[in-house]
Amino acid sequence: MKNRLTPLENAFPRRTTPLLLTGLVAGDPFLEATREYMDVIVDAGADAVELIIPFSDPAYHGPVLRRACDRAMSEKVSWEAVEEMIADFRRDDGNTPVIVSTYYNRVLARGTTDCAQGLAESGVDAVRVTDLPAEEAGEFKEEVEGREMALIQSIAPSTTKERFRRLAKEASGLMIWTGHCGAEVTMPPAEFRDRLRDLRQYTPLPIVASMNVESGEDAASVAGACHGVLVQSAIAWLIEGLGANVEERLGAFVADLRVNLDNIAE
Amino acid sequence: MKNRLTPLENAFPRRTTPLLLTGLVAGDPFLEATREYMDVIVDAGADAVELIIPFSDPAYHGPVLRRACDRAMSEKVSWEAVEEMIADFRRDDGNTPVIVSTYYNRVLARGTTDCAQGLAESGVDAVRVTDLPAEEAGEFKEEVEGREMALIQSIAPSTTKERFRRLAKEASGLMIWTGHCGAEVTMPPAEFRDRLRDLRQYTPLPIVASMNVESGEDAASVAGACHGVLVQSAIAWLIEGLGANVEERLGAFVADLRVNLDNIAE
Amino acid sequence: MNDPIEYAEQRGRFGSFGGRYVPEPLWTPFEAVAQAYRDAMDDEDYHRREGRWRQSRLGRPTPLTHLGALSSEIGGAQLWAKREDLLDGGTFCITSALTQALIAERMEKSRLLGESATGDFGVALGSVGAALGLDVTVFMRRAAIEQERLNAARMRRLGVELVAVDAAGRGRSQAMAEALRSYSISWDETFYATSSLASPAPYPQMVGRALSVIGEECKEQLRDENIEVEYAIAPVGSGSFAAGLFEALLDDEGPQIIGAQAGGGPETTRNSASLVRGRPGVYLGTHSLVLQDDEGQILAAHAEAPGLVMPVAGPQHARWLQEGRVHYVMVDDADALQAQRRLARTEGIFASRETGYGLAYALKLAPTLRSDQHILVGISGTGIRGLGQDDEETDEGGIA
Amino acid sequence: MNDPIEYAEQRGRFGSFGGRYVPEPLWTPFEAVAQAYRDAMDDEDYHRREGRWRQSRLGRPTPLTHLGALSSEIGGAQLWAKREDLLDGGTFCITSALTQALIAERMEKSRLLGESATGDFGVALGSVGAALGLDVTVFMRRAAIEQERLNAARMRRLGVELVAVDAAGRGRSQAMAEALRSYSISWDETFYATSSLASPAPYPQMVGRALSVIGEECKEQLRDENIEVEYAIAPVGSGSFAAGLFEALLDDEGPQIIGAQAGGGPETTRNSASLVRGRPGVYLGTHSLVLQDDEGQILAAHAEAPGLVMPVAGPQHARWLQEGRVHYVMVDDADALQAQRRLARTEGIFASRETGYGLAYALKLAPTLRSDQHILVGISGTGIRGLGQDDEETDEGGIA
Ligand SMILES: Cc1ncc(COP(=O)(O)O)c(C=O)c1O
Ligand SMILES: Cc1ncc(COP(=O)(O)O)c(C=O)c1O
């Protein structure tokens, strides 16, 4: 049996308000910027930062994140550079969980052991691999969980209840509801609420929803049905817009999400 | 046995110089003009006039004659109109043989009997049907020859000697060597001379060559090997050029052919 | 007169139709072709070789496809399609081209020379010519070359010498005339090949016999399916495709056979319906039914499908009409287009526009029959050819 | 492990390759496809129905053609061509499309959704979809739609909903990604169909099995000809066509099997030779050999033949390579073009440019063999598709 008490799991139960997970594409538009955005986001109230390691063909991401990856690709972001940045972040912030996400080919190219080792050493709390389902994850899951990191399991509208129970049994850290496809949300709100209420019975882990949240209102409405939201595209979109005051706007956006999420808990 | 003594055959042996047959497309550019050209041509020394009755698809004629037929087509030249014109010519000229040539569909559309009858009555001496080989001519040949007209047989470079002998036996009036294809002459001069020398042994009929003659010189060179020339395209080309003095030039051209032909006999 | 093909081949005639109405320069070359063809027919090796090529290179037999979806959409009889669109080159043409090329080879000619209205036959000739090591020259109207860009490009790839004929009007007679004139000075080393059944003997016999394999295959395939068809329908331009489908099915016990010709439409009297509107005459070397006026001038044929633009049909059709063995009908251009599109949408078979003329008639017949009755339609080729020109048609839904 | 297909189908793997590397939204839909596919394989009615459709609609079996003229021109071994260009639609694709559509029908889906690089698979999907009463949506890069005008027009005629994907680069991965994203929200009524062998399980198994009929037919045809081939050669993009040809011939006693990939040329290092230049990786849902850099970034594939532009091959190829059962080679773009043209000129078979890659290799091998030895090459489709775009090439002789 793997160790369920990863730092990630320990970090969350302290909060009583919904979780706010925020994603950044590492290297968009360059790594130093990402490092600064991490601080901005955390300062504005994010509970965790997901760093998306750019992949040449992020097939299962929506157009905004694909563009962000494209921009980051020209920076040729290596594992080592990302890890240095995370280690740097860790020096300032020992608590906020860092999740690293990518496509499996980038992991394989480095080697599953080296990859898990490097990430663990830099202070990463959890790993998420877009195109690595539980059935194919065996070896890498061991490498990751053996180093006290979680390998985050996604679930989706197509996941049957039976399958969910099997996945939940093996899951660690938290689970992410993949509830949109690029842009379109794939399930009507009422059905989403019912489904999540149902699923939550079968796992003690928080279920955080990726639902194309674009505003504080969106966030509040989604989080009413689960344990929190993962916001990626809206942040990448803000960064894509750039301008002089991008950090200011980024901070304001995350702060607004935070306020709206905290409000529903009251 | 058919009657070999058609007026055509009677007309030619009187001459000792090569025969000069000249073709006109009836109705190019209109029938009255054709009627006048007949006089011009005969006055200039032609031994016979061929009237080409225009057909919508003169597939086996060269480009110049096809254009001439096109022009005549817009005149909608009927059999009756041509026959009236021939009859009118006959009132002025009781001797010069008139040959009518066309495609078989025009004959069939009128009916073989009516056609032969109409032509005979107007004073025609011979008929030539481009796409009616001896093997298919049976019925029409009888109709024509029964009315003292000749059905003119063509021969060609592809005609074998054996076939020539068969054709010659059934032929009447004269035979026409089809020695060009639109524009290109289809046999080198020396071979042509040899071939014709050979063929002439097997028939008492004159063999007149259609060889794309364009000048008096051409005519003389061709006629040296046979009994005369048939000139069509060069005349149609002259008419196509039109201009104020077309009749004058037509007369001069035919007269020049005549002089050149007469010269070689001397 | 037991075997109509044999009978015809001996006299060059089909009843009172057919024959060889050509100027003298062409007589002897065509007689030589007739002789070589008769020899080949008596030569078992020839038949074996032809059969082998048909199977291993052309893709014969072509399937007989049950058009289940279309049949139930229409209601009534079951529709079956003979799939000549699946032959090498995408049309029935190559079966005829192969036979002519094999005869050319027997005659030790080094070149095939032919005419093509749509380029389909040109492509077919190019293919078999290349395979047999024969040069190929194809005459085609310049306007047709420009319109049928796809086939022109294919011919070039196959090494065909493509000769543009400047001539007004649609249809193939002008290109045929030029091809024949060129042949008349090159017959020594050249074989004249034609796509048109309306040609001087022995071509209607030779082409008809070559293509009769279409109907033979159908007969066998229908037997395998344990089916008797009430109707067999094919489009008729010069009628070579239709003759190929019909020949083997012409039997007193057999189906009612229908030749569908382009009838124009409500707004036009222009058509290509030689066997409905034509009168006996001689054109393109054969005695048959011809669209003509009272003076015997040939009328311009019209059809939306370029393969059907022909003012005269092959002589066997004239005879079948005379003897009441085949029923010839006119089909509106618009209905034919409709039928072609419906076949694509409902059955996923994108057939030539020519095919639409026969199919349109079948679609009208089917509802008058029971669902355990059957209709056979001939698909003469694929519709790709036409796409080279009318891909500006976006009325059918654009790109999302 | 007697039957490699069976083995593979059970684990979704080919040795250590294969698998189903997809995000969670796609897992369950694909597992349902796998289940339906396994059920179909156990159902005799399914096999009968598939067999019937293949024969009566697709035009299977396709001929095996002896390339006699080309063989003697080259000197050396006899060349034989498997003629997938004669299938409905003009490429091998429809055999795979049919199987997928029949599985979709079993699953009671109302729509087929797929991706197409060249439109060939889109046309195939459109055909079988129409015949089976299924709606069809095809994702294609916008630039490819504009380039492959002919196939785009054909798809429209077949009623296909064609979705333009704005994406840089050639190749099919972008369109595949969009198709999958669309499928992930519509799988309830939709069946995902793919032309690529490099796909998540069960697709490599399903497509490989469907296309293995190509090699089965060859085996039988070679037996009929009483011939044993020394080499069997096919072009490999994603490798579905090649796998179809190879599968039945993979036998210790069998021929040497060669997969020909686009190797670029002397002036470029760009290629599509995943099985020569690639390293193990996971891409497009499968674990196979992938063109990638040290960081695991996928490299853009390049080939003059759009069907071969693919940075990853189907997992069975990775296994065959690993086990030394198939030899994979790189062929220059220029040699492939040369070979394609030569086949047209010498044999009258105007094949796809993809075909040229395999043929070019065969043309180099042939002279090293005796004339009583034999080489089998696969013709993946006709060359017509390419004419829609490059008919400005007049270097091959214009119009007289
Ligand atoms: C596809 C197709 N169908 C039908 C025809 C008409 O053939 P036929 O003139 O033999 O009736 C043609 C002629 O080119 C054709 O190409
Ligand atoms: C004509 C043709 N040949 C070959 C291929 C390559 O097929 P595969 O990717 O299955 O190797 C394609 C793919 O579209 C094709 O269209």
Position in ligand 1 atom list of the atom nearest CA C385:
1
A187 occurs within a structural domain: no
Q: How confident is the model at residue A4 (pLDDT cuts 50, 70, 90)?
A: very low
Cβ atoms within 10 Å, residue D80:
25
- The helix/strand/coil state of D252 is coil
Distance CA D70, CA D74 (A): 6
Domains detected in chain D: 14-55+93-200 (3.40.50.1100), 58-90+205-389 (3.40.50.1100)
Would you give per-residue pLDDT tens digits along chain D (400 residues)?
A: 334 444 445 568 999 999 999 999 999 999 999 999 999 999 999 999 999 999 999 999 999 999 999 999 999 999 999 999 999 999 999 999 999 999 999 999 999 999 998 999 999 999 999 999 999 999 999 999 999 999 999 999 999 999 999 876 545 677 888 898 899 889 999 999 999 999 999 999 999 999 999 999 999 999 999 999 999 999 999 999 999 999 999 987 889 999 999 998 877 778 999 999 999 999 999 999 999 999 999 999 999 999 999 999 999 999 999 999 999 999 999 999 999 999 999 999 999 999 999 999 999 999 999 999 999 999 999 999 888 664 444 444 444 4
Residue A35 covered by a domain: yes
| D96: CB partners within 8 A, 6+ apart | D121, D124, D195, D207, D210, D211, D240, D244
Q: For B131-162, how does the pLDDT look when each residue is reduced to its tens digit (9 = 90+)?
A: 999 999 989 999 999 999 999 999 999 999 99
Average pLDDT estimate for C133-160: 95
Interface test with B, best of C22, C27, C176 (most B CBs within 10 A): C27
Structural domain contains residue A171:
no
Residue D292 DSSP symbol: B
Look-up of token digits 């096919």: D234
Q: Which of A4-18, B55-69, D229-243 has the lowest mean pLDDT?
A: A4-18
Q: What is the pLDDT of residue D388?
A: 64
**Does residue B11 surpass a pLDDT of 80?**
no
Question: With an 8 Å Cβ cutoff, are D87 and C86 in contact?
Answer: yes
Evaluate whether D348 touches D341 at the Cβ level (below 8 Å): no
**Residue of chain B whose Cα is closest to the Cα of C32:** B158
Q: What is the ipTM of this complex?
A: 0.92
Could you give the number of structural domains in chain A?
1
Q: Provide the shortest C-alpha distance from residue C134 to chain B (in Å).
A: 22
**Is-contact A50 A101, C-beta < 8 A?**
yes
Cα D264 from chain centre: 19
In-domain check, residue B72 = yes
The beta-carbon neighbor of D153 closest among C56, C128, C391 is: C391
Average pLDDT taken over every residue of chain A = 90
Question: Mutual orientation of helices B233-241 and B31-43 as an angle, nearest 10°?
Answer: 120
Q: A90: domain CATH number? A: 3.20.20.70
Angle at D369 between CA D367 and CA D373, to 5 degrees: 125
Of D69, D130, D154, the CB nearest to C345: D130
Contacts of C173 in chain B (CB under 8 A): 57, 59
In tens, the pLDDT along C107-125 reads 999 999 999 999 999 999 9
Task: Find the Cα–Cα–Cα–Cα dihedral D147, D152, D154, D156, rounded to 10°.
Answer: -160
Burial of A93: CB neighbours in 10 Å, binned 0-12, 13-18, 19+? middle
Ligand nearest to the CA of C176: 1
Flag if D184 and A186 touch (Cβ within 8 Å).
Answer: yes
Is the Cβ pair A108, D282 closer than 8 Å? yes
Helix (H) or strand (E) holding A213: none
Residue span of the structural domain in which A130 resides? 6-11+19-151+212-261
Mean pLDDT of A121-142: 95
Maximum alpha-carbon separation in chain B = 50
Name the average pLDDT for chain B: 90
Which residues have C-beta within 8 Å of that of residue D7, sequence separation ≥ 6? Answer: D1
Residue A169 located in a structural domain: no
Percent of chain B with pLDDT over 70: 92
**Minimum mean pLDDT among B7-16, B90-99, C159-168: which range?**
B7-16
Among the listed residues B24, B22, B20, the one whose alpha carbon sits nearest the alpha carbon of residue B68: B24
CA distance C294 to chain B (A): 6
- How do residues D343-384 score in pLDDT, each as one tens digit? 999 999 999 999 999 999 999 999 999 999 999 999 999 999
Task: State whether residue C337 is helix, strand or coil.
Answer: helix
Chain C touches chain D, with at least 3 Cβ pairs below 8 Å, answer: yes
DSSP line for C251-318: -TTS-EEEEEEE--BTTB-----HHHH-EEEEETTEEEEE-B-TTSPBPPP--SSGGG--SB--HHHH
**Domain assignment present for A191:** no
User: Using the beta-carbon criterion (under 8 Å), do D150 and C83 form an inter-chain contact?
Assistant: no
C370/C75 Cα distance (integer angstroms): 8
Q: Quick one: pLDDT at residue C175?
A: 85
Q: Which residue of D has its CA nearest to C346?
A: D130
The CA-to-CA distance between both ends of chain C, in Å, stands at: 62
Q: Are D32 and D42 in contact (CB under 8 A)?
A: no
Taking only the tens place, the pLDDT of each residue in C171-229 is 567 788 889 889 998 999 999 999 999 999 999 999 999 999 999 999 999 999 999 99
Residue A196 sits at φ, ψ, to 5 deg, of -70, -35
pLDDT at position C166 is 86
- Residue D121 main-chain phi, psi, to 5 deg: -70, -35
* Residue C269 in this model has a pLDDT that exceeds 90: no
Element (H, E) at D135: strand D135-141
Residue C252: C-alpha distances to residues C227, C324, C325 (Å)? 17, 11, 9
The larger pLDDT score, comparing residue C369 to residue C2, is at: C369
Interface touch C132/D69, C-beta < 8 Å = yes
DSSP state of B18: P
Report the separation in Å between the CA atom of C111 and the middle of ligand 1, taken as the mean of its atom positions.
23
How many helices and strands in chain A, by DSSP H and E? 12, 11
D172, D194, D195: residue to mutate for ligand 2 pocket, most atoms within 8 A of CB: D195
- A109 and D187: CB-CB below 8 Å? no
Host H or E run for residue A58: none
Q: Which of D92, D272, D274, D377 to mutate to test the pocket of ligand 2 (most atoms within 8 A of CB)?
A: D92
In a domain, A176, yes or no: no
CA distance B36 to chain C (A): 25
Chain D residues near residue C346 by CB distance under 8 angstroms? 130
- Residue B266 belongs to some domain of the structure: no
Nearest to A128 by CA among A189, A175, A191: A175
Closest CA to D101 of D153, D21, D158, D156: D158
Q: b/e per residue, A97-114, with b = 16+ CB within 10 A?
A: bbbbbbbbbbbbbbebee
Per-residue confidence (pLDDT) for residue C77, from 0 to 100: 98
Q: Which residue has the tokens 């001797």?
A: B95
The rounded Cα D334 to chain-centroid distance in angstroms is 21
Strands D64-66 and D78-83: antiparallel
Q: Ligand 1 test: best mutation among C340, C354, C357, C384, most atoms within 8 Å of CB?
A: C354
Asked if D140 and D105 count as a contact pair (C-beta separation under 8 A), the reply is no
Q: How far is A44 from chain D (nearest CA, A)?
A: 30
Comparing A1 with B75, the larger pLDDT belongs to B75
D8: tokens are 């593979």
Q: For residue range A165-205, what is the model confidence (pLDDT) as tens digits?
A: 999 999 989 999 998 766 677 788 889 999 999 999 999 99
Q: Which of D16, D20, D26, D27 to mutate to test the interface with A (most CBs of A within 10 A)?
A: D27
8 A C-beta contact, residue A48 and residue A18: no
Mean pLDDT of A223-234: 93
pLDDT higher than 50, residue C80: yes
Give the DSSP H or E segment for A172.
none
